[in-house]
Structure 1
Amino acid sequence: MIADDHDIQRFEDLLQQFDHAMLVSVARDGTLHARPMAIAESDGAVLRFATSNRSAKTAEVAMDPRVSVVMQGNGTYLAVSGTASVSEEPARIRQLWQPAWRPWFPEGPDDPSLVLLEVDPERAEYWDRKGARRLEYLWEAGKALATGRRVSEEALSGHGKFFFG
């Protein structure tokens, strides 16, 4: 299903709950390579991560830009698939600069190895298992156990998936 304005707003609201994610890229040998990353920015649906232009992830993205970004916390799960690119935009890097990055980039925001890895989402899926949605899930899971049927993820209001168009 193509994302409508409501889907995109829901996605952006969920995305704001996370400051870290697992970034999964395709390694040189074709296997999947995952690593934790701090989210530098989520601008609309686009995710940005600070990294080095000498990192494995930038080399992997140059060879195959397909990535997945997975986030989890406090009963909420978000999975994003899309394409990544490397940005060397100095103004954006300076705007996003955080002192916590200094151990990796000792020259600060002007460090020549500092780049942004930008993920442009193509598909997103979320599961929200907190508050009333958690109770809804527990109710549906109880019914499924009692009747011997599967829980339908699509029937739960705390689950959604869509494509960005």
Structure 2
Amino acid sequence: MDTEGLRTVLRLVCSKQPSFMLDIMETLEGGGPEEQPGSESRTAPSWCICTYCREMPTDREKVCCGKTKQNWQSRLPDFYTVVLDELVLEVAMRYYNDVLAEPRDDNINRSRRYAAYRQFIMWVHGKLGAGNRKVIPSCCVRRIRDTFPEPSGQYVGYLEGVMD
């Protein structure tokens, strides 16, 4: 297959499953963002590979993105665009509230966190639902919580579905 054919196949694969791009980037040397300058030193839990996770309250939540330091899933430009961008989250929240006919939550950080979790799941796994749930990697949860913190520091965490 020629170079243009490979590019076409890569575009098709990534359009069908965007998270594959993360795996492709990991294979490229120096293909991801570096640790942000001035960030605090990290002591990662023993189950963490990316070195950005923090300890989680339940064993079920102790999930790492499994990426190298150069390709932390939570530090990719697409993560910011899809999961943390406030305008994207605003549109996602309006759509979600409209579809479910739910009133808007007055706690803006809680609303944005919840929308960011949904955006991450849709970006990486596609549509999920009852009996088909996924745990968000700790490093990604950390980045979302650091961006949209709860003043009390108390978070709900992963909740099992009725059919899980």
Greater per-residue helix proportion: 2
Instruction: Compare CA radii of gyration and give the structure with the larger one.
Output: 1
User: TM exceeds 0.5?
Assistant: no
| Larger fraction in strand | 1
Q: What is the TM-score normalised by the length of structure 2? A: 0.25
